[in-house]
Amino acid sequence: MVFTSHNISLVETKSGKPSLKVKGEDGSEKALHSLYDPEAEAKSIVDAFQFDGNGILVVLGLGFGYHIKELLRRFPRAELVVVEAVPEIYEIAKEREEISDKVRYVVGLSPEEALREITRHQMKNGIAPVAVFTLSSAVSAFSDYYRPIVSALKKTVSIRLWERLKYPKFKNDSLVVAVLDSGYFLNVEVEKALKRLGHRPVKIHVRREQGSEAFVHGLIEKIIEFKPDFFLALNHLGFDEEGALTSFFNSIEMPVASWYVDSPNIIVREFKENVSPYVSLFLWDKGYMDDMRSVGFESVSYLPLATDETVFKPIKLSKKHLKAYRCDVGFVGNSMAEPTEERLRKLRKELHPLVEKVARLLSTSRMSFEEAVKSLDIDISHLPVQERIDFEAAAIWRATLLYRLSCVEMLKGFGHHIHGDRGWSKLLSKDYKLYPPLNYYRELPLFYNACRVNLNATSLQMGGAVNQRVFDVPACGGFLLTDQQEELSELFEEGKEVITYKEKGEIPELVRFYLDNSDKRKTVAQRARDRVLSQHTYRHRLNSMIESMRKRYAV
């Protein structure tokens, strides 16, 4: 007879099979299994258990696991989670090889922690149905421990939560769209466009410091209350790298649209647990579509940026605004100095020279990051996932800095304004007129209206795509001079609706020409505005997204 600190004893039953006796919380000795035939007892109590065999089966009390073996045999589709109050009981069972690798064990945690662990497992499986099996002898011996767990689980079972989270989608013309709001700049535009299209956006705040468990609990409440037709995220913001949220959505058959307006390669490519048939990707750059399909996403669509024509529009400027913003040529944009430094700080210093090599090549040539690394014979495949992501981001941000700097330097000698971050002051000499950043909603429309020629230099994470400036400037009736991007010709008629430069050296000549020819400048600007209003507002984009989601997920 072996005793432990919990007065647990190993005894032999009349059938020759071992059983356990324990000293319960009330001081009395209790047998966890029949002292005659524990295997026969297990078959008997499992026979009496009403369960359809689907979902998660929480078993309270391990003992020697006779009932566990019978439950596994009887219900092979169920996922068993065994909660054991006493670690010594688990260790004895493990020592005698009575532990199954088909079972998830929750051992020695407080009742509150044990419930949280069960909930996490349930969340990961999409709020799968939960049933409870109690080893009555164990629950009786340690009633203070098991009672709150039993009570909480009975509430979960009684409300049949999993059934309330599955329902038909896209039944009505007017949809309910749950928007994951992470504070990203496009959230405002998305919500406004949805409302103007006659749909109902439901904002769900995403906070980085919020744990995934608490976040999913909040989602469940919103889903039950509003019954959204689908969720909409920007750049997959709000999703975890481990794919727990994706798994949850997949299990409850909830469609998700993720609109990428930054490189998906440095966000989701390495985190393949976020791949799901219920997640549709919408990319602002066609160049990433094959990458995302190769990762495993089934639904990948092209959806370029656009403008909010209620914000970016012709404005009659006051004398105050003319004095503040009037200029011949202007540039508004981030130098990318701070994002570059932020990524470099995450990398080992010995990698910095390699980042610089890649960045300099990218800044002067039209190639992808993968092509640049290959041409320089740089191998980063051995780096950890996050370090590879940081390396790529640092190279792209540094390349964008070098490229934008070379373009902005072409404005020397013109009556120019350069609005942006403090990084510009370290990059440019005193020959350049530097101004602080502009508020996107209040000040930027004024600047686009006041500036005669607006220069655009696209971020190099956009292989062929165009940024918002390409839509916002024309929406204001302003004239845009932008770098040539492959997808630009699909959106505007080049030479008539938009003027482009292929090389930075063309910038001064084009600026001078359109400053000297105001009629031509105004004609191009008006044609571009007409095109934007007819095809390139956020209403157009969200309507395209909704039709795509309806076609794929409507029952």
**Eight-state DSSP code of residue 356:** H
Cα angle value 407/287/332 (rounded, 5°): 30
DSSP string, 225-262: HH--SEEEEETTTT--TT-HHHHHHHHTT--EEEEESS
Q: Which two tokens stand for residue 418?
A: 């350069």
First and final C-alpha spacing in the chain: 63
**Eight-state DSSP code of residue 498:** B
The residues of the chain scoring below 70 in pLDDT are 1-6, 123-127, 155-162, 208-214
The per-residue pLDDT for range 23-51, each reduced to its tens digit, is 887 888 889 999 999 999 999 999 999 99
Could you give phi then psi for residue 478, rounded to 5 degrees? -90, 165
Region for residue 108 given its phi and psi (left: phi exceeds 0; alpha: psi -120 to 50; beta: otherwise): left
CATH architecture of 176-306: 3-Layer(aba) Sandwich (3.40)
392 exposure class (CB count in 10 Å sphere: 0-12, 13-18, 19+): buried
> What is the C-alpha separation between 222 and 167, in angstroms, rounded?
14
Report the candidate in 203, 198, 208 with the shortest Cα–Cα distance to residue 179.
Answer: 203
Residue 106, classed as helix, strand or coil, is: strand
Same fold for the domain at 176-306 and the one at 319-536?
yes
Whether the Cβ atoms of residue 413 and residue 419 lie closer than 8 Å to each other: no
Whether the Cβ atoms of residue 211 and residue 85 lie closer than 8 Å to each other: no
Residue type, 197: L
pLDDT at 161: 66
DSSP string, 412-423: TTS-EEEE--TH
The CATH code for residues 9-164 is: 3.40.50
Q: Which two tokens stand for residue 189?
A: 């535009």
pLDDT at 23: 87
Q: Label the pairing between strands 230-234 and 130-134.
A: unpaired
Residue type, 252: I
Whether the Cβ atoms of residue 452 and residue 486 lie closer than 8 Å to each other: no
pLDDT at 537: 98
Could you state, in order of their start, the residue ranges of all structural domains in the chain? 9-164, 176-306, 319-536
Question: Does CATH number 3.40.50.2000 belong to domain 319-536?
Answer: yes
pLDDT at 115: 87
DSSP string, 120-174: HHHHHTTS--EEEEE-HHHHHHTHHHHHHHHHHHHHHHHHTHHHHT----S-SSS
